[in-house]
A and B are shown apart, each in its own frame.
Chain A
């Protein structure tokens, strides 16, 4: 079974530029998560989707961040414009069931560097 796929793996951009990350969850997984992981910290949830619906986006900085999950499968996370403080690893995860207690399967992440 293929795992969670993320691209790109690494991205270097200048501040004020836009950037987008893509995630393909494990086939059949209804729930998709985007996390932010700063250096020396644990992952922090940005947004959670159940199918196409964003059910928890309370931690997403909506002035510059946006996300979509069209057709309830792939998802894209966008930052526009990027700031120096956005340099971090962006992790995507998926889980098989809606709500409740689910093991989350993580992708390898996208390491973003903003210069």
Chain B
């Protein structure tokens, strides 16, 4: 049973527009959430995180929103750039337990 779900395998947006990547989780013990970005032939790189005590965290063009009641989080990229094209993984953690990753969403930003 997948505890972290990214239901959209892929997303395509135009340069300059907003990209919204979604993630749902089932385990109510998760209280820390992260987004990782992965280019081909490279390991995932940390992008942004959010604690369950917050509902929003912003870092430059990247904003993560957390809706605990819906067990849903989303990553907003504004404005999207072609260099943002990558696979984005949502991950969740509860206490000192392991990170649980979703399957990823492949974002393509078209010039």
Name A's B-contacting residues (CB within 8 A). 4, 40-45, 48, 56, 91, 93, 99-101, 103-109
Pick from B32, B89, B103: contact of A101, CB under 8 Å: B32
> In angstroms, how far is the closest chain A Cβ from the Cβ of B16?
29
Inter-subunit contact A93/B43 (CB<8 Å): yes
Name B's A-contacting residues (CB within 8 A). 4, 9, 32, 34, 36, 41-46, 49, 51, 89, 91, 93, 96, 98-99, 101-104
Inter-subunit contact A45/B91 (CB<8 Å): no
Inter-subunit contact B43/A107 (CB<8 Å): yes
Alpha-carbon distance A48/B89, docked complex (angstroms): 20
Inter-subunit contact A103/B43 (CB<8 Å): no
Pick from A40, A56, A106: contact of B44, CB under 8 Å: A106
Inter-subunit contact A91/B43 (CB<8 Å): yes
Beyond A100-B96, A103-B34, A103-B49, whether A44 also contacts B101 by CB under 8 A is: yes
Alpha-carbon distance A40/B101, docked complex (angstroms): 12
B36 to chain A: closest residue by CB: A106
Q: Which residues of B contact A44 (CB under 8 A)?
A: 101
Alpha-carbon distance A104/B93, docked complex (angstroms): 12
Alpha-carbon distance A51/B99, docked complex (angstroms): 18
